[in-house]
Structure 1
Amino acid sequence: MIQLEILGAVAMLTLHRPPVNAIDQAFVARFQEKLDDIIAAAPALVIIRSDQTCFCAGADLSLIRGFFAAPDGVEAMVAYVTSLHAVFNRLESLPAVTLAAIDGPALGGGLELALACDLRIATTRAKIGLPEARVGMIPGAGGTQRLTRLAGPGVAARLILGGEVIDGQEAARLGIVQWVSAPSDLEQRLKDIADRIAGLSRGALVAAKDCIAAWFDPAVDGYAREIEKPRAMMRSDEARRFVEAFFARKP
């Protein structure tokens, strides 16, 4: 259902629930288990991708239909959505850089999963959207908040209220993804990005990610966090190695 491979400083998380990586309770539980493994391995970068033609089509609609039919369906639905919030919040705060590689449809909960990542790359054949209004629902697993935060209320309204699905090129233009590539170039682009990030200081990346997150929380002083982070970083062997390596390279 979800496979994890640790390749040095890079963790590769591959979604594998044919045919469209629909998200049900078992998928969520498995994802949480893999996040446990990632935290234990402490990579610098986590790449999330799919081995299906679809990145992730979102919620399992047969599951949602069952909630409507069940006597306790409302509470079951709320519990399911709460579990999605829990796993996506944990992904968002993971002590590693996270990159979603979208080559195919990323719709509904699938896009919400990608929005919980720090970075996103899409191919030109990607299909990106939050079209839940088409089935009488809302993007309730963080989509209304993360897309608005990322791309602004105008873009969020266009996709959510308009039920629009866009391609990777348009997603890059709107700032939803940071890179776009031809499908044939995706592997090389991923390698280039992974090599660059994996060559950076993991401690610095995690600290910088934490500082960036402060921007979204009015209760946190991001400038104070920037001042505090070097206390731990300057005591680390890793930071010392990176500084010494820099000066060793200088002519």
Structure 2
Amino acid sequence: MFKVETFGRVVRITMQRAPVNALNNEFIAGLDRVLDDVEGRKDVTVVHLRSSQRVFCAGADLAQVETRFALDDGANIMVRDIREFHRLFDRIEHLPCVTLAEIGGTAFGGGFELALACDLRVAADEAKLGLPEARLGLIPGAGGTQRLTRLCGPGTAGRIILACDIVDGAEACRLGMVQWSVPAARLVAEAEALAERIGSLSAASLLVSKRCIARVAPLSRTGYEGELQGTHGLMALEDTRSRVKAFFAQRR
């Protein structure tokens, strides 16, 4: 599910869960095991996260989501799942090294929330990014409402979350959703060069800088709880259930 390689002070993690790196409990457990190793290494300055698939990550595993909606206690189980997303993404954000997401394809929903948990993001101009959960009567509840607003402000967060706008990598860079955007043909080389350049810097100064940056706008626990409560309540609405049912019927 994950390929882990070391290049000097850079650890490259390649997500390999075909076909779209869908996020489910197994994926989270696997990435946790990878991070267990990374956190224990003092020689790591950069974690470079990328995908071997045509997409970066398409978000939550739809089979798992559909199962939750079919259960009487599905809303509570969904909230439990999202708590695990919160925990994993917080863990990535607080790693004692710089994290870089290389976005070569689609990053929707939980997939973009995964990228938002990284310190830095470089995307292909042609990549597609967004948080389209409102189309299903849901919200980007794995930290998306919090991290995107902190990163880009309420105006851009409103455009992406409330209007469900899907933007390409070039527009995402203009909006501040990613820090760099390059043509797809150059993405791999640019991301690797960026990771190598950061990896050559002082690990101690990067860690102190990262911690100081985080103090400017820490994430709100109440914001997370709002996401969880909102998801729980939305799953009980007939409108949401109808939208989700129609979505899965269309996919079939």
TM-score (norm 1): 0.85
CA–CA separation in structure 1 for the residues paired with 2:107 and 2:127: 7
Quote how far apart the aligned CAs of 1:187 are: 2.1
Equivalent position of 1:150 in the other structure:
151
Structure 2's unaligned 5+ residue stretches are 221-252
Please tell me the root mean square deviation across aligned C-alpha atoms, in Å.
1.3
Q: Does the Cα contact within 8 Å between 2:22 and 2:57 map onto a contact in 1?
A: yes
Equivalent position of 1:89 in the other structure:
90
CA–CA separation in structure 2 for the residues paired with 1:88 and 1:17: 18
Please tell me whether residue 172 in structure 1 is matched to residue 173 in structure 2. yes
SS at 1:41's partner residue?
A: coil
SS at 1:163's partner residue?
A: coil
CA–CA separation in structure 1 for the residues paired with 2:156 and 2:195: 29
Q: Deviations over 1:203-228 (max 9, x none)?
A: 11111101111111399xxxxxxxxx
Equivalent position of 1:20 in the other structure:
20
CA–CA separation in structure 2 for the residues paired with 1:193 and 1:23: 26
SS at 1:47's partner residue?
A: strand
Within a 5 Å distance, the mapping from 1:105-116 to structure 2 comes to 105-116=106-117
CA–CA separation in structure 2 for the residues paired with 1:167 and 1:123: 8
Quote how far apart the aligned CAs of 1:27 are: 0.4
SS at 2:114's partner residue?
A: helix
SS at 1:152's partner residue?
A: helix
Q: Which amino acid aligns with 2:8?
A: G
Equivalent position of 1:31 in the other structure:
31
CA–CA separation in structure 2 for the residues paired with 1:200 and 1:133: 41
Q: Deviations over 1:119-159 (max 9, x none)?
A: 00000110000001112210000000000000110100001
Within a 5 Å distance, the mapping from 1:64-79 to structure 2 comes to 64-79=65-80
TM-score (norm 2): 0.84
Q: Which runs of 4+ in 1 moved over 3 A?
A: none
Equivalent position of 1:162 in the other structure:
163
Q: Which amino acid aligns with 2:148?
A: L
CA–CA separation in structure 1 for the residues paired with 2:185 and 2:219: 42
Stretch of structure 1 that moved more, 37-46 or 209-218: 209-218
Structure 1's unaligned 5+ residue stretches are 220-251
| Corresponding residue pairs, total | 219
Quote how far apart the aligned CAs of 1:164 are: 1.1
Identity percentage of aligned residues: 49
Q: Does the Cα contact within 8 Å between 2:147 and 2:219 map onto a contact in 1?
A: no
